[in-house]
Amino acid sequence: MEERFAPSGTRERNLAMELVRVTEAAALSAGRWMGKGNKEMVDQAAVDAMRNALDGVDMNGVVVIGEGEKDEAPMLYIGEQVGNGNGPEVDVAVDPVDGTRLLSLGLPGSLAVVATSERGTMYSAPPGVYYMEKIAVGPAGRNVIDINAPIAVNLDRIARARDARIDDLTVVILDRPRHQEIIRQVREVGARIRLIGDGDVAAAIQAAMEDYRGVDMLLGIGGAPEAVLAAAALKCLGGEIQCKIWPRNEQEREKLKADGVDLDQVFRTDDLVSGDEVCFAATGISSGELLDGVQYHGWGARTSSIMMRSRSGTVRYIQARHRWRKPGFDQR
């Protein structure tokens, strides 16, 4: 476990490491429902396990990104107090299963995700905001992208920043009908495309990781809560995400305008997560390109996780064994 000494000489605990235990608990519980076709039970198992695990974390947390309003979600609702109250005051963003549909169908790429930042530093979308237009890149592209620029311009800038050609680049896009025009434009300039069914948090992380060169950019429209979680990870990785609120229809557009929401505002990484003490953790549930999924055995299970801290820039991959019983112990 990484440790540092505070000015007083007392040892400071690594909150990110404690968050890994939270995502591990959610993954171990939800993974039992892989491929069984029940999205509700997938989500319920993860929420229950994550909420219970959060009780043991040394923090005084408030859920900013969660399962919805209190009257919609009995646990992990927005505004809920989490943690044991003994640690730092933090905002908490959770996604007990990023890729619920994927997991319920037995498809790859689902994750359990938690992030924290200092209290009051995470963006909470206004009521009625569900989706955002997004572009995400790694450190090499962070100072050259512009969500308002044409796709061809952004791809050319990233290629130049990487000393590469546009047809060397790979863009990851959610496979949705709304992205047909984006896909057409990317193809027109010659970049490669990887379509994914769900899980744009993992895709944004992959686009930002310097040691993972399978993806160079995330493009498209996805969930607003996932944008904040991705921003927390990219803050640790030195990448950049830019977003704009995306109304699903004209009625929603007019409602947001009437509520004073600026649909032209560009949200950058620091607008979504402005803190300097950001921690991020994720555990694979069904195996994907970022992380392996949970593997169950008679003696226990194996999990694969990633944890990050913005202060140090540390990224750790954690392979864990969880034993239900000790080796050589005969239960008979």
Binding-site members for substrate are: 98-100, 131, 176-178, 198-200, 223
Element at 195 (helix H, strand E): strand 192-196
Q: What stretches of 190-314 show up as alpha helix (H) in DSSP?
A: 200-208, 224-237, 250-258, 269-272
Helices and strands in the chain: count of H runs, count of E runs: 9, 15
Q: Is 153 helix (H, G, I), strand (E, B) or coil?
A: helix
Instruction: Give the integer Cα–Cα distance in Å for 315 and 164.
Output: 26
Q: Sort strands 11-12 and 300-309 into parallel, antiparallel or unpaired.
A: unpaired
Residues annotated within a binding site for Mn(2+):
43, 67, 95, 98, 226
Q: Which two tokens stand for residue 39?
A: 């999205």
Q: How far is CA 28 from CA 34, 99, 216, 250, in A?
A: 11, 15, 31, 41
Q: What residues have CB less than 8 Å from 31, skipping those under 6 apart?
A: 103, 285, 286, 293, 294, 296, 301
Residues annotated within a binding site:
43, 67, 95, 98-100, 131, 176-178, 198-200, 223, 226
